[in-house]
Amino acid sequence: MTISLYTASVPAFQVSLKALKVILQKAEAHAVAGKVDPSVYLQARLYPNMFPLVRQVQIACDFAKGCAARLAGIEMPKFEDNEATFADLQARIDKTLDIIGTVKPGQIDGQEDRDIEIKAGTRTLNFKGQAYLTGFVLPNFYFHATTAYAILRHSGVEIGKGDFLGM
């Protein structure tokens, strides 16, 4: 049995983004209970030269919506990257879930050979659809979702593997 591009992308993003929402809710509750300014968590990073939590969530959302749009051949929605609160991040995840939820399997399945071009700073990256998903998007998406989880776990939020997996 084969797995389709749609099955490997949109449902996987949905599960992980919903889990990320729960993790963010737990982080906000942890901040309130500990009388910690939420911005401490929102701007926390694992290392000084890494992006903070806010940016990790933004990028995870960008990979999910960008992938769905590019594989479906539809216009990629842009967000302003101005989230400053847990509520803002929750809203960004909700917007992302709404966008990817409109993409249907028939729009993505069969796009394994679709040409995908990505601008990355001064570089242009070229992929075929399947390689774009499996070798670029999924590793990047999970890197940023995992880093968001790790920042919060490192900050003392009581979350575990089950939270990350959405269980």
Stretch 9-34: mean pLDDT: 97
pLDDT at position 76 is 86
DSSP notation for 74-110: -PPP-------SHHHHHHHHHHHHHHHHT--HHHHTT
The pLDDT value given to residue 1: 67
Annotated domain spans of the chain: 5-165
Whole-prediction pTM? 0.96
pLDDT for 120 equals 85
Q: Right CATH number for 5-165 from 1.20.120.450, 3.40.710.10, 3.40.190.10, 1.10.630.10?
A: 1.20.120.450
Residues 6+ apart with CB under 8 A from 126: 115, 116, 117, 118
State pLDDT tens for residues 35-86: 999 999 999 999 999 999 999 999 999 999 999 999 999 998 899 999 999 9
